[in-house]
Structure 1
Amino acid sequence: MKKRNTLLYTLFATITLIALFTNQYVAPDNGYTGAPGEGTCASCHAPANANFAGQVQLTGIPDQLYAGQEYKVNIEVRKFRGNPAYAGFEMVVLDQNNQDIGTLNQPTGVSGIITDRTLLRTYFKNVIHPTDFGNDSVVTWSVTWIAPENQTNATVNFYATAILANGDSTVLGDLAVKTQLSRILTEGGPLSVEIANVTNVQCGGDSTGAISLLVQGGTAPLSYQWSNGATTPDIQSLPAGDYTVTVTDSDTSQVVKTVTITEPANLVPQIISVTGVACNGQDNGSATLGASGGTPPYQFLWPDADTSRIRNDLAAGDYIVLVVDHADCAATLPLTIEANVFIQTNAGSIAESTPGAHDGIAYVTPSGGTPPYLIVWNTGANTDTIRQLAPGTYTVVIGDLSGCLVQDSVIVGSGTCPLAGNISVVQPDCGTGNSGSISVTFPNPTGQVTIRWSNGDTTPTILNLSPGTYTLFAEDEGTCTYRDTVIIQSTGMITLDSVRLKHPQCDGTNDGSISFTINGGVPPYRLDWSPDLPTATPDSLAAGTYILTVFDANNCTSQDTFVLLGDDNTLPFILSPSIEAYLDANGIAQVTFAQLQEAVIDNCGLDTITLSKNTFSCSELGSQQVALTARDLAGNSLNDSITIVVMDTIKPVIQPFDTLTANRCTGLNYPQILTQDNCGVDTVFLLQGTGPDGSFTVGMNLDVYQVIDFSGNASLGVLPIFIQRPTLVADLTPPSCSGRTDGSIAIDFPDAATTISTIWGNGQTGDTLKNIPGGSYIAFSADTTGCFFRDTIVLDSSAFQVVLDSIRAESPAGGYLAVHLDGGSAPYEFQWFKEEIALADTSLILDSLAAGRYHMKAQDDTGCKITSDDFLITGTSARQSWLEQNITLYPNPNNGRLWIRNDQRVIIHEAVLTNLLGQPLQRWITPSLPLQLPGISDGSYLLKINTDQGSIVKQIIILQH
Structure 2
Amino acid sequence: MTINYTALAQFAFNIPKHQNDRISSYSPIQVAVSGKLALCSHSEKGNILLDISGGVPPYTFRWNTNETTQNRTNLYAGTYTVLISDSQGTSHTERIIIQPPFPLILNPVEKKDATCGSGYDGYAKISVKIGRNDFEADSPPYEIKWSHGLKDVWEAEGLAPGVYTVLVSDKYNCDVSVSFEIKAAAEGIQVSESIQNPVCESPDSGQISLNVSGGVAPYTYSWSNGAKTKDLDQISSGAYQVLITDSKGCSFQASYTIESLGSVQISSKTKAPSCQGSSDGEIEVSALGGKAPFTYLWSTGQSSPKITGLSSGTYSVKISDTSGCTVEQQFSLTNPTSLSLEVLENRPVSCSGKADGGISLKISGAKGTYRLSWSDGIKDLLQRKDLVAGTYTITATDESGCSVSTQVTVTESQKIQARIETSLDVDCASGKATGVAWISIQGGKEPYTIKWNSSTANSREINFNAAGILKASVTDALGCTVETEAKVDFPNQNTQGARLDFQYRKLAITSEPEVMVKEEILFESEIAPEIIVWEWEFGDGNKSSDKDPVHIFSKVGEFEVKLTGYDVYGCSTFEINTIQVTSPTELIVIPNAFSPNGDGLNDFFMPKIRAISSFQMEIFNPWGEKLHITQSPESRGWDGTYKGQLVPAGNYLYQITYTTLDGNSMTRTGGITLIR
Q: TM-score, normalised by structure 1?
A: 0.24
Q: Which structure ranks higher in relative contact order (CA pairs < 8 Å, sequence separation ≥ 6)?
A: 1
Name the larger-Rg structure: 2
